[in-house]
Every structure is written in C-alpha cells, then in structure tokens.
Chains A and B, each alone.
Chain A
C-alpha cells in the first residue's frame, strides 16, 4: 500500500514527434503530469492529439524524444531494458479500449495471466475476489468470446488490478461500450481503484467521466493543461 501523497508518477517536459513521409509532427511538446498515491487524473483531448501516445510513454511502451519520467520516484530511463517489461507489469495495470482478452483462456485464466506474465504468484483467491468484485462470479470459467462488451471490459479491469499495481492506466475504457455499460464499467473502475489504493490515469472523451477524477487535464498542442 502506498502512502497517501506519495508521488507515484512524475513526467516532466515529455516530447515526442513522428516523421510521416517528409513531414515532422510533434505530438507532445513538454507535457507534464504528476500523479499521487490513490488519486485519479483524467486526460481529455481531441482525437489524434496524442493521448494514447502519452499513455504509451507513461508506461514506457514507447520512448519519449526527451523529458523525465519517474515511477515511484525512480527514473525509468535508469531501468535496464531487460527488466523494464517486468517492472512495468508489477508497477502498473492497463485497461484498453479493445479489452484485449486472450480468447484461448477462460475468464479466470485471463486474470491470472497478468500475474504469471509479470513473474508474480498466480493467486487464484485474489483473481476470484476481483472477478467477484466486478460482478463476474458466475462466469469464472467462461470463454471471453461468450461475454458481452461490458463484461469483457470488467474482466480487463480485474486483470489490470491482479498484481496490486500502484498505478492504473486506462485508455478509453468505455470507448467501445454503450452508455449504460460504460457507466457501470467506469463506476467499477473508480471504486475498485479507490478500494485497492491504486492511482488512476484515465484517458477519455467523456466529459462526465473525466469530471469524476480528482484532477482533470486536457491535452492540447502537445501540453497537458488543467481542464
């Protein structure tokens, strides 16, 4: 459990650009973000403004061109590349718009996979507890292919929380869901993150969902500004 007020994620002056053909597009130009333990931060922005790129950089799935990134006070650039993936798997959980469940595994298998891949103990009791918490107690051994979109996203939330991450990154978690299912998932995400003491960085288009975070930011012209 992290101490209240401890800085979980710090990013300063992040810059990232892409070369498309002969043109150079600067997506991030000095983006700063600070996330404290147990707090949630929402990020909104126009389509294509670089929100997913920002999350990829915060999770270090993509390298920034420049800038500082710290996970719990530890500079990410100092982590050896061979250890980076495992460190990421233990430090943060991720929820994506498209769920990305493994169709060959059952529901509980998908949740346990997060622990196994990160080299942690595959605690079945915790997986059951999380799935019970997201309302899927009866579907533990169901194939993800038989679940509705909302149910799939709830499995993805349980999976992201399996390793007791200090930070959750959610990229448009309700983007593929109808309004009702989206609201259920969002309620659950916020509530469980609060229960588990996990900080949350939420990328969403939905103003109402964004407003429920402790801090709301907008990505505009490559910078994060208060909403």
Chain B
C-alpha cells in the first residue's frame, strides 16, 4: 500500500485507540445522514413509481393494438394471431368512448370501456377489483361503475342508470326521439389508481358495440405479456408493430402513459437533486475537519516534505481521507436507510396513530403501507455523487498541504 494511503488510514484510525478521530466520526455522520435521506427518498419514490406502474398495467395491459381511434373490423384473425404469439398471455378486444350517464338527478360523463368478458384470461381483472357486486351477474344490460363514479351519482349495485351516447345526441339533432339505454349496475370496482377509479365504467363488448353502433368493430386489443420487464415489452411492441405494418399502431403501457411517467421521473430526479444539497452541506464539514487536520499537522507535513514526499502524494494523503469519509458515510447511510425502510410500517403506524392521520394517508395516497423499491441504479448514482463530493471536499485541504513550503511548515507553531 502506498505510504500516503497507509498514513491516511492511520490518521483516521489511530493505532491503539478504540475509536476513530472525533472529526472523522462527525464528518462520517454528516455524510451518512445525507446518504440515508437520499436513499430513503429515492427508494420510496421508486416504490411509488412501481405501484403506479403496476396500476397502469393492471388497467391497460402491457401493450395495446389500435388503429389510432378508428374502428377495426373483422379483427378475429388479428386477435387469434396475437394470442398465438408465445409471449402473449392474454389479448382482449375492447371498444371505448364517452357517454352521458344519469342516475336520478345526478349526471356524469364517464369514460366507458366495453370488454370481451368471454375471454378466458382478462387483461383488466375486473372480477378481482369489485368491492361490491358479482361479475357473474354481468350481461349485455349491465354495467360496472368505478367507486368514485358510483359515489358521484349515488348509484350502487342494483341501481338502474340511464346512458346517452353521442350517437343519440346526433339523432336528437335530426329530431328523432331517442330514449336512453337503461342499464343495471351489477358491480362497483376500485383499482387504487385514481384516473381509473374517478370517472370510468365497464360494460360488455357487445353492449358497447351496440351503444356506439360499431357492428363487429372494436377500437383496440389490450395485451398482457408473460414477461413484463420493460425491455421485453419494448421488444414485443417493436416485433408486433413490424408484423402489423402501418394499418395498426402498437403502443406499450409506457407509450400510453408517457406524460405521467415523465412527471414521475422528473419528480424523482428533482428530489435527488434537492437532497444532494444535504451531501453538499456535509462536504463542508469534511472540508472544515480536514482543513483543521492539515493545520494541526503542518509540521508533520513539513517533515514529510523534508523526507522527500512529493506534493502529489501529500495531496492524495488528504484527498483519500475525504474519499474514505465519503465511503464510510455512504456505507453507513445506506445501511441506515435500508434498516429504517425495513421498519417503515411500524414507524408510520406510530406516527399516524400519534397524529391520527391513518385515514387521511389511505384516502390521499391510496397505499395502505409505504411502498419501497430498491433500484441498484439509485444506489450506484448516490454512491458516485457522494464519493465525488467527499473527495472534492478533501481537495481544498489537500491543495493546501501539497503547496506548503517545508521550511515554513517545520517552523510553524
């Protein structure tokens, strides 16, 4: 080991002493707290992202084949071809649109999706999402309402709702008398995904085709894949897109939610950027402690120069100490973060109990427990940033040490 590394370690961990130097501990503590907060923030944000992603996939599948809003007719062969691909787990045709819904005096304009519920494997597991009612009661005169929509119009299982489609309104303009379609509410579903829960409803595909007068037409096919890794989904979409040509568009769930995902990524990156300032503040502690060490060791530095030490090696002696403080702080901070996240639920439960905010947490965040996702990329990025900042913090004292004149250093009091 080069002498400057050996001496750097010895200065941080003096021989014969049980504890490292006080300044070392203080600097490490500062860095570890910064790293801990960064890891916790990024892992919780990652957890939220994963939860959001899972909800997006649950409500739209991994991929979607559509004609850009146009109606696709005679799609049986296409559905069969997609289903026959080994990567495909399920392929369910759908038709969708907006309707006017009324229940008593309460109108709403929900988004309605008609699903082919005869498919053995569904993309959207509506049956599992029901909080009231039974999917077995579903027929071509029944609908499922999202939980917030049902609340908004005051409908529940067994209620009858009236539906007006845009086609009916067109006919009304032509002075035709159109009666609304009366449908039975046979279930209420909740996904935990606000955009889907707030104002949507589900019906059978034949009912939707009837409401929109599509004949055998559909608006698209939702696809669920066996391998849900992002790269596999992209690969599948590219390969299917190439096979289908320009007549149909293949979109992944990431394409369909691009804006939202961009906001999530921006939010996470901004959090990382802001939290990095904590590390920056800690780096000042490192710089101050190291500068103090250099001042304390001035005559020792003079001696090393007298013995033949090169300025570069003297600089490395203190730069390495900054690096080592960063390394120790990073490891300690990461371990602390993982430990804190491991016990997050009891901590949150205690805090919620003290502040009586458990209900508010569940209402606004829709997660009964704090989700966490450890992304190796976050750990690598945080480590690199912390080690770079810590090493740079050791640079100012290092430069001071490197440019000391030996005679002056030895003379110093």
Residues of A within 8 A of B (CB): 52, 56, 59, 61-62, 82, 85-90, 94, 96, 98, 100, 102-106, 109, 113-114, 116-119, 143
Contact = CB atoms under 8 A, between A and B. Distances in A.
Contact of B3 (A85, A94, A98, A116): A116
A41 B313 CA distance: 33
A186 B333 CA distance: 54
28 contacts: A56-B407, A59-B306, A61-B306, A61-B407, A82-B310, A85-B309, A86-B308, A90-B308, A94-B306, A100-B299, A100-B303, A100-B410, A102-B7, A102-B300, A103-B14, A104-B10, A105-B7, A105-B15, A106-B15, A113-B3, A113-B7, A116-B2, A116-B6, A117-B308, A117-B313, A119-B308, A143-B15, A143-B16
A143 B302 CA distance: 21
A188 B306 CA distance: 22
A37 B176 CA distance: 124
B209 interface: no
Contacts, number: 72
Nearest to A56: B407
Contact of A86 (B2, B7, B15, B310): B310
Contacts of A109: 10
B240 interface: no
Given A85-B310, A102-B300, 11 more contacts: A88-B306, A89-B306, A89-B308, A94-B307, A100-B303, A104-B10, A105-B15, A113-B307, A114-B307, A119-B308, A143-B15
A59 B7 CA distance: 24
A132 B302 CA distance: 27
Contacts of B64: none
A10 B210 CA distance: 111
Q: Please provide the 9 A-B residue pairs with the shortest distance between their CB atoms, ordered closest to farther.
A: A89-B308, A116-B3, A104-B10, A118-B308, A100-B303, A61-B406, A56-B407, A62-B407, A61-B407
Nearest to A105: B10
Contacts of A114: 307
A184 to B, nearest CB: 23
B7 A104 contact: yes
Nearest to A146: B16
Interface in B115-146: none
Interface of B: 2-3, 6-7, 10-11, 14-16, 299-300, 302-311, 313, 405-407, 410-411
Contacts of B311: 85
B304 A117 contact: yes
A28 to B, nearest CB: 14
Contacts of A117: 3, 304, 307-309, 313
Nearest to B305: A85
A100 B300 contact: yes
Contacts of B300: 100, 102
A118 B310 CA distance: 9
A104 B304 contact: no
Contacts of A113: 3, 7, 307
Q: Which of A62, A85, A88, A104 has the most CB of B within 10 A?
A: A104
Contacts of A52: 411
A117 B7 CA distance: 11
A62 B10 CA distance: 29
Nearest to A90: B308
Contact of A104 (B11, B303, B309): B11
A91 B411 CA distance: 22
A117 B405 CA distance: 17
Contacts of A143: 15-16
A116 B10 CA distance: 15
A129 to B, nearest CB: 19
A104 B14 CA distance: 5
Nearest to A102: B300
A223 to B, nearest CB: 21
Contact of B410 (A86, A96, A118): A96
B7 A88 contact: no
Contacts of B410: 61, 96, 100
A98 B299 contact: yes
A104 B20 CA distance: 11
B7 A118 contact: no
A86 B306 CA distance: 9
A61 B404 CA distance: 11
Contacts of B313: 117
Contacts of A106: 15
A106 B14 CA distance: 10
Contacts of B302: 100
Contacts of B299: 98, 100
Nearest to B308: A89
Nearest to A119: B308
A114 B7 CA distance: 12
A85 B308 contact: yes
A96 B299 CA distance: 11
A93 to B, nearest CB: 9
A106 to B, nearest CB: 6
Contacts of A59: 306
Interface-central residue, A56, A85, A90, A100, by most chain B CB under 10 Å:
A85
